[in-house]
Structure 1
Amino acid sequence: MHDMASEVTLVVVIGILLIGAVATIANRIGVAAPLLLVVLGAGIALVPGAPDIEVPPEVFLTIILPPLLYTAALKVPAVDFRRNLRVIGYLSVVLVAVSALVVALVLQSLWPVIGFAVALALGAVVAPPDAVAATALGKRLGLPPRVVTILEGEGLLNDATALVLLSTAVAAIERPGSSDVEGGMLVGDFALAVVVALVIGAVVGYATVRIRQFAGDRAIDTAISLATPFVSFLAAESLRGSGIVAVVVTGLVIGNRSQVRIRATRRAQESATWSTFSVIVENGVFLTMGMQLPSVMAAVDEGERHLVGVIGVGLLLCAVLLAVRLAALPPLLAWLRHHAWRLRREHDRLGERLQGIDTTTKRGARLQHVHVVRGHDLSAFRDQKLGWRDTLAIGWAGMRGVVTVAAVQTLPAETPMRAELVLAAFVVAIVTLLVQGGTLALLVRALGLGRDRSERRRMELESIVGEAIDTGVEAMRREAQAHGIDEAVVDIASERMLARRAWAAHVAEVDPDDPTTDVAQISRLRHIAIEAERVWLDRVRRSGRFDSATVAVAQRIIDREEIGLQADEDEH
């Protein structure tokens, strides 16, 4: 038992080190880390004496997937998610269901022996694009904010549709003498799963924010954060809800409510913790996939010709999925334009109604609030209007990843042609990451989609920072008057805050990726200064020149400066 534990620990440690090394190399040479890890994993598996890696499918779906989606959901603004909910719903429900159905029909025509339920199961496996891969790449390439939000939202919710389809198909596979999938049961299961998940996810999210608000220790706060996605997932699953949707809702609630309720230092700590987890776990899935690839190919043991045929089927499914996705986007664009026109007309009608309503009453105030919100929505839709170039980028960004790799391994052992199905799914994940992920940057540049550096954005940033600072200064002055604080102290504190206004306006005008700008150079100099301060403070600490408590206070000041600098860099 001790030897087995030592071996597992060694494998995990080596895996983490390999992931870190490959991720570093991939960033420097501009290649997607998952692809390098798949190749590395396959190479390791071919080494004589290499350990056989067999991860139970339940580990992927209950331990790995929930925190990955939770981490992504924490970063999605709720307002943007609400504004694009129609697009997200279309892509994550309708498109996933249609893609799974088309793949099932194609697959059944090629391999009639497997039956429709098995074909639909694989369709559900390969239908949902990966949430993390697409959005991370989109942000790095500077895609418009609305496009990134749509990709984030789609990737967060499409897994629920796919997994409900998969569970229904697997139930039909396991039912003796039956391979039919009942449409009524499918719709009913999906509706129940979503409703339960929405309730559970919201309850867990709001409760967690309240609990963490009063957590007195950082370690306890981190422990609660680590447990949250699993609590939400397991609670929803136990009530026949979608654990995936529940986790996403919980992440959205916490990510947007914590800005007010939870301290910045704890949110920074939470972000660092989950970012580390995401890098290790997501890349670990692809390393594991690579190590399983030789054995999966060996299981397709009917000769080299058959193996090539299975890979060809996987390539065909890639083409089918891309064709369905691109074909679904023009109707979406037309629908969005019609919705924007209808929303504008309703907004105008509501404005006319408000002219004859007393807005000081409860009903009048509510209608006025709705009118203001709709006005902001219309402005956002107008400024971030989706065109054919945006939708083409959305279509090309449909890479498959962690969910496809994990879900295909949940197929029952008695599934006909199981090894072939697993290999086909692996091919879809690898090829879409290689082809679509590898060429998305070229497509973005060819389409002229870049970062929004408009004058309007600069003015918005200057306005919001300015109003926030004015609010803060006014609050300081009220506090000073109430407690007799010297006005000179208020002036000193105000000067430090007012300096942020000019800096924010300047930062908005420069390219955040250009290392030659003064903003990048100032950031580099600040990093050098902080590093020098840290080294000097360490020498002082070891010399015993100052009291340890005093040194600790100085260390916290330097740490806060570094946290603030890192936050500025993450934002810009």
Structure 2
Amino acid sequence: MHEVTTEVTLVVVVGILIIGAVATIANRIGVAAPLLLVVLGAGIALVPAAPHIEVPPEVFLTIILPPLLYTAALKVPAVDFRRNLRVIGYLSVVLVAVSALAVALVVQAIWPIVGFAAALALGAVVAPPDAVAATALGKRLGLPPRVVTILEGEGLINDATALVLLSTAVAAITRAGNSDVEAGPLVGDFALAVLVALVIGALVGYATVRIRQHASDRAIDTAISLATPFLSFLAAEALHGSGIVAVVVTGLVIGNRSQMRIRATRRAQESATWGTFSVIVENGVFLTMGMQLPTVLSAVDAGERHLLGVVLVGLLLCAVLLVVRFASMPPLMWWLRGTAVRRRRDHERLAQRLERLDTTTKRGAKLQRAHDMRGHDIVALDDQRLGWRDMLAIGWAGMRGVVTVAAVQTLPAETPMRAELVLAAFVVAIVTLLAQGGTLAWLVKLLRLTHDGTERHRQELDALLGETIEAGIDAMQREADARGMDEALVEAAGERMRSRRAWAAHVAEVDPDDASTDVAQIARLRHLAVDAERRWLDQVRRTGRFDSSTVSVVQRIIDREEIGLQADEDEH
């Protein structure tokens, strides 16, 4: 038992070191880290002394996917998600279902022995795009914010649709003598799973924010954060809901409510914790995929099908998925245009209705808020209207990733032609990452799709900072009046707050990656000062010249300065 534990620990530690080294090399040479990890994992598996890695399917579903989706959901603004809910729903539900069905029909036509249930299971596995890489690249290239939001939202919700389809297909596979999937129960199960998940996810999210708001210790706060996605997932699954949808809803709630209710230092700590987890787990999945690749190839080669034939089927599925995705873009554009017309008409009707109402009443005030919110939505969506170039970018950004690789390994052992299906899914993930992910930057430049919103961003930043600072100054003034404080104190504090406005406006104008700007040079000087202060304080601590409690206070002051400096760099 001790030897097994030691071996597992050694494998995990070495795996983390490999992931860190490969990710660093990949960033320097401009190659996607997952592709290098797949190749390296396959090479490691061929070494005679290498351990055999076999991850139970339950690990992928209950340990890997929930925290990955939770981490992504924490970063999505609720307002942007709501405004683009129609597009996200279309891509995440309708397109995923159609893609899965198209793949199932093609696979069953080529391999009739597979059966429709297993073919649909493969379709569900390869249907959801993993938009993490696309959104990260899109932000660096300056894609329009609405396109980035749509890709982020799609990457969150489509996994839920796919996994509900997958679980239904797997249930049909495991039923003795029955490999058919009925459409009626499938739709009913999906609707019930989503409804339960929405309720559970929202309850867990609101409860977690409230509990963490009153947590007195950082360690406890971190522990609660680590347990949250698993609690949401398991609770929803226990009530026959979609654990994935519940996790996404929980992440959206916490990510948007915690900004006002949870301390900034703890949110920064949470972000760092989940960021580290995501990097290790996402890349670990691809490393594991590479280590399992020789075994899968051997199983396919030992069967009745030729290895090349299975690879060609995988390539055909890539083409099918791409055709279905691009074919869905024109109907989406027509639908959005019709929706925009109806939204403006409804907004005008509500405005006419408000003219006949007293907006000082509770009902009138509620309608006024709804009218104002819809007006802001119309302005924002009109300003970021989707055109054919946006649709081309969204269509091409449908590369598959960690969910495909993880989900296909959950197929039960009794699945017909399981090895062939796993290899086909691997081919889809690798080819789409290499072909579409590797050329997305070129396509964005070719379409001249980069979004230059510098001037508007500067104006909005200046206006928002001004309003926010004045709200803080008003609160200080009211407190000073209530307590009889000296007016000079309020004025001094207000001047200090207003000085932040000019500096933030200036920071917004400079290139954050240009080391020659005054902002970068000042940040460098501040880093040097903080490092020097730390070294000096360490020397003082060693001499014992000051009381340890006094040293601790100064240490906290330096830590706050460093946290603020790091926050500025992360923001810009």
2:50 — aligned with what? 50
Is structure 2 residue 321 aligned with structure 1 residue 321? yes
Deviation of 1:525 after TM superposition, in Å, equals 2.9
Equivalent residues of 1:453, 1:509 under 8 A apart? no
Distance 2:541 2:177 in 1: 75
Corresponding letter in the other structure for 2:240: R
1:386 — aligned with what? 386
Distance 1:107 1:362 in 2: 58
What do residues 86-136 of structure 1 show as CA deviations (whole Å, max 9, x unaligned)? 000000000000000111111111111111111111000000011433323
Equivalent residues of 2:405, 2:426 under 8 A apart? yes
Equivalent residues of 1:317, 1:428 under 8 A apart? yes
Distance 1:131 1:278 in 2: 14
Distance 2:410 2:457 in 1: 47
Distance 1:25 1:547 in 2: 46
Task: Summarize the alignment of residues 223-242 of structure 1 with structure 2, pairs less than 5 Å apart.
Answer: 223-242=223-242
Deviation of 1:428 after TM superposition, in Å, equals 0.8
Is structure 2 residue 152 aligned with structure 1 residue 143? no
Equivalent residues of 1:42, 1:290 under 8 A apart? yes
2:473 — aligned with what? 473
Distance 2:532 2:128 in 1: 48
2:187 — aligned with what? 187
Report the count of equivalent residues: 572
What do residues 438-478 of structure 1 show as CA deviations (whole Å, max 9, x unaligned)? 11111122222224434222111110011111111121222
Is structure 2 residue 475 aligned with structure 1 residue 462? no
Equivalent residues of 1:453, 1:508 under 8 A apart? no
Deviation of 1:483 after TM superposition, in Å, equals 2.5
Deviation of 1:251 after TM superposition, in Å, equals 0.5
CA spacing shift, 1:511–1:333, aligned 2, 3 Å: farther
Equivalent residues of 1:69, 1:131 under 8 A apart? no
Equivalent residues of 2:131, 2:397 under 8 A apart? no
CA spacing shift, 1:520–1:330, aligned 2, 3 Å: farther
2:208 — aligned with what? 208
2:354 — aligned with what? 354
Q: Output the TM-score relative to the length of structure 2.
A: 0.97
CA spacing shift, 1:143–1:171, aligned 2, 3 Å: same
Is structure 2 residue 262 aligned with structure 1 residue 262? yes
Corresponding letter in the other structure for 2:289: M
Distance 1:365 1:286 in 2: 53
Corresponding letter in the other structure for 1:97: A
1:514 — aligned with what? 514
1:277 — aligned with what? 277
Deviation of 1:304 after TM superposition, in Å, equals 11
RMSD between aligned alpha carbons?
Answer: 1.5
1:67 — aligned with what? 67
Deviation of 1:542 after TM superposition, in Å, equals 2.3
CA spacing shift, 1:80–1:120, aligned 2, 3 Å: same
Corresponding letter in the other structure for 2:400: R
Deviation of 1:412 after TM superposition, in Å, equals 1.4
Distance 1:510 1:448 in 2: 22
Corresponding letter in the other structure for 2:480: A
Identity value in percent: 81
Task: Judge which range, 24-33 or 159-168, deviates more.
Answer: 24-33
Task: Summarize the alignment of residues 529-568 of structure 1 with structure 2, pairs less than 5 Å apart.
Answer: 529-568=529-568
2:528 — aligned with what? 528
Distance 1:485 1:422 in 2: 71
1:424 — aligned with what? 424
Task: Judge which range, 295-304 or 246-255, deviates more.
Answer: 295-304
Distance 1:329 1:569 in 2: 37
Task: Judge which range, 134-143 or 409-418, deviates more.
Answer: 134-143
Distance 2:322 2:542 in 1: 61
1:76 — aligned with what? 76
Deviation of 1:222 after TM superposition, in Å, equals 0.7
SS at match of 1:300: helix
2:126 — aligned with what? 126
SS at match of 1:185: helix
Corresponding letter in the other structure for 1:571: E
2:395 — aligned with what? 395
SS at match of 2:509: coil
Distance 1:532 1:451 in 2: 41
Distance 1:450 1:540 in 2: 52
Flag structure 1 segments of 5+ consecutive residues without an equivalent.
Answer: none
CA spacing shift, 1:446–1:540, aligned 2, 3 Å: farther
Distance 2:566 2:85 in 1: 31
1:372 — aligned with what? 372
Deviation of 1:305 after TM superposition, in Å, equals 8.0
Deviation of 1:403 after TM superposition, in Å, equals 1.1
1:498 — aligned with what? 498
Flag structure 2 segments of 5+ consecutive residues without an equivalent.
Answer: none
Deviation of 1:555 after TM superposition, in Å, equals 1.8
1:296 — aligned with what? 296
Distance 1:393 1:516 in 2: 33
Equivalent residues of 2:60, 2:410 under 8 A apart? no
Task: Judge which range, 359-368 or 302-311, deviates more.
Answer: 302-311
Distance 2:443 2:144 in 1: 14
1:107 — aligned with what? 107
2:34 — aligned with what? 34
Distance 1:394 1:517 in 2: 34
Equivalent residues of 2:116, 2:180 under 8 A apart? yes
Distance 1:503 1:449 in 2: 30
Deviation of 1:486 after TM superposition, in Å, equals 3.1
SS at match of 1:301: helix
